[in-house]
Structure 1
Amino acid sequence: MVSVLPGAGRRLLLASLCAVASLAPLAAVPAAAAGALPPPGRPEDQGDHLTVVVRHAGAGRDGTYRVSCHPSAGRHPDAAGACRVLDAQTRWGRDPFAPVPPGSTCTMLYGGPATARVTGTWAGRPVDASYDRGNGCEIGRWDRMVPLLPEMRASA
């Protein structure tokens, strides 16, 4: 059975087919040749990778750490543990790096001058998160990311 389209319908169909056909040569170009993929051999550019900069946390804790996950690797004291905590904190529809919600009621506990900044890519999304220990909510947020962030022991 042959269907005949009115003039406008034929033109629309023809225009659609031409548009799709014009994209076909682009699809044939390998993604690596188009520059869409990172160069091979640089795991920090592929998948889940983060840079953690820790300041004012004390000797042996301050510094810049890099961690890649799936598989875990990098210059981090506990890359495998960091990846485990990140995987455990990752839930569909929730940002594991989200700041404390505005208006939260937090204890007025001070956890010290330590700060951290986490940047990179996690679960296919860009990350740029800052951490401190200025109140009970921020301390809890920090502690949920140990060992990605260093454990801060209370002074006796």
Structure 2
Amino acid sequence: MLRSLVLATLAATTTTAAGLGGVGELGPLPSLPLLSSSSPDTSSPDTLTVTITKSGHRNADGTFELECGDRPGGTHPAAARACARLDGHAKAGKNPFAPVAEDRICSLQHGGPATARITGQWRGRTVDARFSRADGCEIERWENLEPVLPHVR
């Protein structure tokens, strides 16, 4: 998303930059960190508390502990798959807990009343993220974190 924003900004400046020798002189796109600039501490296991409400699934609602490390565990019903999903985000350099960008245009669809809150430590960083299914962007954000969050349709 950030890279798209940079590309859009560069495209918008093409006209003004043309008089300065063109966009080609602006150089490559900067590397945009998706997580804070501090190095992640991966020596201790990730420990997250996942609270789900109004999912429509009796077994999915509640508060679950998720521990990711050498041996995934906790009370989360899909701990191993959830940790694998989070590991995939880390390897891709993505922050799965980042909120939807304020300037993002989202479809006006409602995915139901389900809400979630995830708190704890992930890759050495403090997490306090809230999820809903209030619009298309929030639905996408939720589904991108399945099975950490339950499958809801």
Same fold (TM over 0.5): yes
Secondary structure of 2:107's aligned partner: coil
Secondary structure of 2:47's aligned partner: strand
Q: Could you tell me how far 1:148 is from its partner in structure 2?
A: 0.4
Aligned amino acid, residue 124 of structure 2: G
Quick one: structure 1 residues 61 and 92, their matched pair in 2 at CA, closer, same or farther if it must change by over 3 Å? closer
How many residue pairs match? The answer is 108
Q: Which residue of 2 is the match for residue 52 of structure 1?
A: 50
Q: Which residue of 2 is the match for residue 69 of structure 1?
A: 68
Aligned amino acid, residue 54 of structure 2: H
Secondary structure of 1:90's aligned partner: helix
Instruction: Give deviations 1:8-53, integer Å, cap 9, x for gaps.
Output: xxxxxxxxxxxxxxxxxxxxxxxxxxxxxxxxxxxxxx52010000
Aligned amino acid, residue 48 of structure 2: L
Q: Is 1:107 matched up with 2:126? A: no
Q: Is 1:118 matched up with 2:91? A: no
Q: Which whole-Å CA distance do the structure 2 matches of 1:108 and 1:102 have between them? A: 15
The alignment-based identity, stated in percent, is 47
Aligned amino acid, residue 97 of structure 1: F
Q: Which whole-Å CA distance do the structure 1 matches of 2:108 and 2:139 have between them? A: 11
Question: Which of 1 and 2 has greater Rg?
Answer: 1
TM-score (normalizing by structure 1):
0.66
TM-score (normalizing by structure 2):
0.67
In structure 1, the gaps of 5 or more residues are: 1-45
Aligned amino acid, residue 112 of structure 1: G
